[in-house]
Structure 1
């Protein structure tokens, strides 16, 4: 196993749990496993392992980008779980999605907030109450 792959697996499993990196690779068939391995090596072995940002900060950025791109519900679910494991609170995760609305528009933000809140509930997180129109 290369150093990049080992480092990537360690970081990936910080977010998703023990054995999940091998599981991601095993989900693919034959030669397609190389693409999953590249993702673990590059995304988690190189980028996610850099100094300068915490794992929670990286997940916050990732959530914002996934919301902006739209149509990436499986990845949004996965990174919502990862954000929880990285120490983000449900409030921080939901506020990250709310913050994107000014840039991505209501359709994408509303689609994303449904995926995020469903994932939070599935993972036993309590959804904070709305602030309402009189909130400061």
Structure 2
């Protein structure tokens, strides 16, 4: 078992490792965006996310970046009510190599477990992210607006 400060064979602190992994997955801009979102309420919350989520969980071997995002998107879809996190993980998924069709298929996979309402909300969030990034799942028919 790894200590909370260091993983086996890694002399970086958990915070250093967490920031490196977070920036590799999400980019420095998203880390700054999340930090700003909580700055006036709970600035230490972002430190906990960086330390634990990225410094421990995401730094573990065994899953590729895309596989991690598939798991995260399905979990957040099934959980429901996690729009901020779901939006961020859809964006991260696209950043690490998922295409819009894979994001949609990932959300659809939650349907039997999460139900129509939660999957519909997740699809709407994906649609919003795709629109912000000018991405399309399907080519629009010519003449369509």
Quick check: TM above 0.5? Answer: yes
Gaps of 5+ in 2: 1-11, 140-145
Check the 8 A contact 1:120/1:126 in 2, yes or no. Answer: yes
Report which of the two has the higher share of helix. 1
1:40 to 50, 68, 77: 50
Mapped contact 1:11–1:49 kept (Cα < 8 A): yes
1:10 aligns with 2:20: yes
- 1:73 is matched with which residue: 69, 83, 87? 83
Q: Closer, same or farther in 2 for the Cα pair 1:22/1:102, shift >3 Å?
A: same
Provide the C-alpha distance between the structure 1 equivalents of 2:113 and 2:135, rounded to a whole number of angstroms.
27
Change (3 A) 1:33 1:107: same
Give the Cα–Cα distance (whole angstroms) in 2 for the partners of residues 115 and 30 of structure 1. Answer: 26
Supply the distance in 2 between the matched residues of 1:70 and 1:87 (Cα, whole angstroms). 24
Q: Distance in 2 between matches of 1:19 and 1:105?
A: 33
RMSD of equivalent CA atoms: 1.9
The 5 A counterparts of 1:1-136 are 3-29=13-39, 32-128=42-138
User: Tell me, which stretches of 5 or more residues in structure 1 are unaligned?
Assistant: 130-136
Q: Distance in 1 between matches of 2:115 and 2:41?
A: 38
When normalised by structure 2's length, the TM-score is: 0.80
TM-score normalised by length of structure 1: 0.85
Q: Deviating runs (4+, > 6 A) in structure 1?
A: none
Count of residues in Structure 1 that have an aligned counterpart in Structure 2? 128
Q: 1:123 to 1:15 in 2, by over 3 A?
A: farther
Greater gyration radius: 2
Q: Shift in Å at residue 30 of structure 1?
A: 6.5
